[in-house]
Amino acid sequence: MSAAFDDSSDEQQLYAADPEWADVVPLQQYEGVDPIAPIFYSEEYKDATDYFRGIVKTGEMSPKVLKLTEHIIRMNPAHYSAWQYRYKTLIALNSPLKAELELMDNFAIQFLKTYQVWHHRRLLLGALRSVDVAVRELAFVTRTLRTDTKNYHTWSYRQWILAHFNDEARLWPGELPWVEELLEEDVRNNSAWHHRFFVVWQSGVRRDEVDREEVLRRELAFTKEKISLAPNNQSAWNYLRGVLDHTHTPYASLTSFVQPYTVGAPSDPEDSIVDLENPRPSAGAELPSLPALEFLADIYEAEGGDGISKAVRIWKSLADEHDTIRKKYWEYRIKDALHGAQ
Amino acid sequence: MSSENPPPLNIPLHIRYIQSLGENQDDLVFHMTSHLRLNAIYWGLTAVAVMGQKDALPRDLMVDYVMSCWDEKAGGFGASPGHDAHIHATSSAIQILTMQDAIDRVDVPRVVKFILSLQQPSGVFAGDSFGEIDTRFLFCAVLALSVLGHLHELDIEKTAGYIRRCKNFDGGYGAREGAESHAAQVFVCTAALAILDRLDEIDHDTLGWWLAERQLPIGGLNGRPEKLEDVCYSFWVLSSMSILRKVTWIDAEKLTEFVLSAQDLEDGGIADRPGNQVDVFHTLFGVAGLSLLGYPGLEDLDPVYCMPAKFIEAKGLRTNWQSLPRRRA
């Protein structure tokens, strides 16, 4: 819960001593009650928030209010009232919102995990209504993701930009290549896999993607390739299952792909028959792959008949050897399948 | 610190830690967290209550402080005095006042109006007039209305419908439609659906498995694939699994060891993982997780409301969740 605190600002003159603020009546934090969780303020913070309460009371919306709110949110980026009032003031003053975005750029990088930072940008984008600005925002998001590749707010904000502007010409086309680059850098980035699903399957159909069969082929090929690079990567296997479920494609259609991942020894590297449809585990991969075993067991279970005992064998190996932390889950699967088979 | 044979839960020490939070001289940390003040009090109160000593914190002072957070203009509670009303602070206030048997201090019709006013056309809730939307706020709204006995004023289908649209390909839920599955958001969506009696919206098998997959070999739980374990997920994940009646899928022994090894045995409190700095947030969720795991000496916790079960039972709000049986010391 600790927050970054930038103490590098110059010595700040108190608002109480600033002639520009002489016309504002500062209001103290509520007093009269001995709070159970007292807040011990620094002098600077107390002074600034006293004057904030003062201008909120009178409803003043002026340039000096912008300076004050910026000062407060720099000290405490989670002060949501200050953010809120700042936005209202920007609109009331008809301030250049693009400049506000730029001012906030460095800010956001410093306080990446603060909700308000992102919500403020969302409001600005909504008010500006410009695809140009949205293009710039996507580039900004790309930059901030470099410092924290899985930041939840950042990813969610990117999804909002894409959905809100829904621009086929300038916003959507770059997304797939972009997310591919990220997966190239870190194939285990769950946020990137989720984003891929969002772009490909959950945000309408792009003009050049109307052939859904082709899209499915492409996605399966992509995912299989990534699995061959990192056979135990949960995110890739979750993506695979998601694609199959979404397109109502039977898991069994991937049996020949999955099988080499379920055995202990990697395939003979001398085996020169390269099957592009079924890329094999890369050299040095840790086998058997647990997600592959789970996947194969699901195929067997869906078969029914003899498939059930094959599935049970796999689940037993997971419970007793490969994935003992989830023993109780695998024992549940066994019981459930045997019960269903009766 | 090794998690093999970790020390038992040192209840008296953690209670003293929570009591001492009011005396903290670190002004920087305090003013930076004023936006959490009411939520922090709820975390502290629930923690001491689950540890069996609700009265370790002064009741009257607390109730007065909560009431000093009332925003008369908006008809809700802010995070600390003078802060604008926010739905998260409002639900924390209602939870605190319920546990302190002081809900009679609240202008219920006004609070209900404030909460309902935050629902968006899509069914999700905003946190306040600032407009930030998140399934967390949807849960806060549903919880608060339920505890106040005014759930009937909510459009259930509209609210559950938004959660339905948040369901991801992996069976999980995110902060809003289109957002990545995350264990904390899974909790708020699952708990909200439990209160709304719409657990049928969930793909129980897929989500249950996704949640079970949060457990790492060392015993701790993470919030999404390939992320680090964190004590707070021992609540978010565990409570979701309790609601889905699949809590037995977690290796209870290893998770218990993980949480216990994250205690600060000098000054009290629990951290996000062993060796790190403690805070009241992780102290609550560590203790809450242990309660759901049946750890001896703790009170039963209702995983839907994250409050001691007896308060929820007294209001006739208990749903069909399942935790591990309480072990003898």
Q: Which residue of B has its CA nearest to A76?
A: B32
CA dihedral B149, B155, B157, B161 (to 10 degrees): -110
Please list, in sequence order, all residues whose beta carbon lies within 8 angstroms of the beta carbon of residue A248, skipping any fewer than 6 positions away.
none
Supply the pLDDT for residue B60: 93
Sign of CA dihedral A83, A85, A89, A92: positive
Taking an 8 Å cut-off on Cβ atoms, the answer to whether A76 and B25 are in contact is no
Beta strands in B251-319 (DSSP E): 270-271, 278-279, 301-302, 307-308
Please list, in sequence order, all residues whose beta carbon lies within 8 angstroms of the beta carbon of residue A263, skipping any fewer than 6 positions away.
A287, A288
Which of B30, B130, B165, B283 to substitute to test the interface with A, most A CBs within 10 Å? B130
* Greater model confidence, A340 or A226: A226
For helices A80-92 and A63-75, what crossing angle results, to 10°? Answer: 160
DSSP A189-204: -HHHHHHHHHHHHSS-
Supply the pLDDT for residue A106: 76
Q: Residue A114's pLDDT band (boundaries 50, 70, 90)?
A: confident
Q: What amino acid occupies position B140? A: C
pLDDT in tens, A165-212: 999 999 999 999 999 999 999 999 999 999 999 999 999 888 889 999
Asked if residue B116 has pLDDT above 50, the reply is yes
The ranges of chain B annotated as CATH 1.50.10.20 are 58-202, 204-329
Asked if residue B25 has pLDDT above 50, the reply is no
| Average predicted confidence (pLDDT) for chain A | 89
Asked which of A38-47, A99-108, A163-172, B177-186 is least confident by mean pLDDT, the reply is A38-47
Cβ–Cβ < 8 Å for B195, B304? yes
Measure CB to CB from residue A152 to each of B22, B178, B180 and give the nearest one.
Answer: B180
Using DSSP, how many helices (H) and how many strands (E) does chain A show? Answer: 15, 0
Q: Residue B88 and residue B36: Cα distance in Å, rounded?
A: 9
Supply the pLDDT for residue B329: 80
Taking an 8 Å cut-off on Cβ atoms, the answer to whether B35 and A80 are in contact is yes
> Which element (helix H / strand E) includes B76?
strand B76-77
* Greater model confidence, A12 or B257: B257
C-alpha to C-alpha distances, A181 to A142, A186, A192, A282, nearest whole angstrom: 11, 9, 10, 20
Mean pLDDT of B296-316: 98
Supply the pLDDT for residue A75: 84
Cβ atoms within 10 Å, residue A35: 20
Helices (H), B101-221: 108-117, 135-147, 156-165, 183-195, 204-212
Mean pLDDT of A83-90: 95
Supply the pLDDT for residue A14: 87
pLDDT in tens, B199-254: 999 999 999 999 999 999 999 999 999 999 999 998 999 999 999 999 999 999 99
Report which of A182, B67, A106, A179 is spatially closest to residue B77, judged by C-alpha positions.
B67
Please give the structure tokens belonging to residue A106.
Answer: 């460095």
Active site residues of A: 113
Supply the pLDDT for residue A7: 43
CATH 1.50.10.20 fits B58-202, yes or no: yes
Q: Residue B221 and residue A184: Cα distance in Å, rounded?
A: 27
Q: Residue A9's pLDDT band (boundaries 50, 70, 90)?
A: very low
Q: Residue B37 and residue B281: Cα distance in Å, rounded?
A: 11
Supply the pLDDT for residue A340: 81
Q: Residue A69's pLDDT band (boundaries 50, 70, 90)?
A: very high
In chain A the first and final C-alpha atoms are separated, in Å, by 52
Q: Radius of gyration (Cα) for chain A, nearest Å?
A: 28
Q: Residue B134 and residue B185: Cα distance in Å, rounded?
A: 9
Q: How close is the nearest chain A Cα to the Cα of B88, in Å?
A: 12
| Average predicted confidence (pLDDT) for chain B | 94
Please give the structure tokens belonging to residue A147.
Answer: 């410092």
Taking an 8 Å cut-off on Cβ atoms, the answer to whether B175 and A156 are in contact is yes
Mean pLDDT of B182-188: 98
Q: Is B271 helix (H, G, I), strand (E, B) or coil?
A: strand
The CATH number, out of the four listed (3.30.750.200, 1.50.10.20, 3.40.50.2000, 2.30.29.30), of the domain defined by the range B204-329 = 1.50.10.20
Q: Residue A258 and residue A278: Cα distance in Å, rounded?
A: 8
* Greater model confidence, A305 or A33: A305
Measure CB to CB from residue A2 to each of B134, B180, B277 and give the nearest one.
Answer: B277
Which of B30, B226, B258 to substitute to test the interface with A, most A CBs within 10 Å? B226
Supply the pLDDT for residue B121: 97
Taking an 8 Å cut-off on Cβ atoms, the answer to whether B169 and A239 are in contact is yes
Asked if residue B33 has pLDDT above 80, the reply is no
Q: Residue A234's pLDDT band (boundaries 50, 70, 90)?
A: very high
Mean pLDDT of B8-20: 95
| Site of tokens 């309480």 | B326
Q: Residue A10's pLDDT band (boundaries 50, 70, 90)?
A: very low
Q: How close is the nearest chain A Cα to the Cα of B310, in Å?
A: 25
Asked if residue A8 has pLDDT above 70, the reply is no
Q: Residue B310's pLDDT band (boundaries 50, 70, 90)?
A: very high
Q: What amino acid occupies position A142? A: T
Q: Which residues of B touch A41 (CB under 8 A)?
A: 27, 30-31
Q: What is the ipTM of this complex?
A: 0.93
Which of A194, A244, A323 to substitute to test the interface with B, most B CBs within 10 Å? A194
Asked which of A108-117, A269-278, A311-320 is least confident by mean pLDDT, the reply is A269-278
| Site of tokens 């200050």 | A82
Please give the structure tokens belonging to residue B253.
Answer: 């022994």
Supply the pLDDT for residue B232: 95
% of residues, chain A, pLDDT over 70: 89
Q: Residue A305 and residue A212: Cα distance in Å, rounded?
A: 33
Supply the pLDDT for residue B82: 79
Cβ atoms within 10 Å, residue A102: 12
Supply the pLDDT for residue A266: 61
Q: Residue A275's pLDDT band (boundaries 50, 70, 90)?
A: confident
Q: Which residue of A has its CA nearest to B218?
A: A325
Backbone angles phi, psi at B23, to 5 degrees: -105, 10
pLDDT in tens, A323-336: 999 999 999 999 99
Sign of CA dihedral B16, B20, B21, B22: positive
Asked if residue A290 has pLDDT above 80, the reply is yes
Report which of A182, A103, A169 is spatially closest to residue A134, judged by C-alpha positions.
A169
Supply the pLDDT for residue A6: 42
Mean pLDDT of A268-292: 82
Please give the structure tokens belonging to residue A187.
Answer: 């194939």
Please list, in sequence order, all residues whose beta carbon lies within 8 angstroms of the beta carbon of residue A256, skipping any fewer than 6 positions away.
A277, A278
Asked if residue A272 has pLDDT above 70, the reply is no
Cβ–Cβ < 8 Å for B70, B63? no
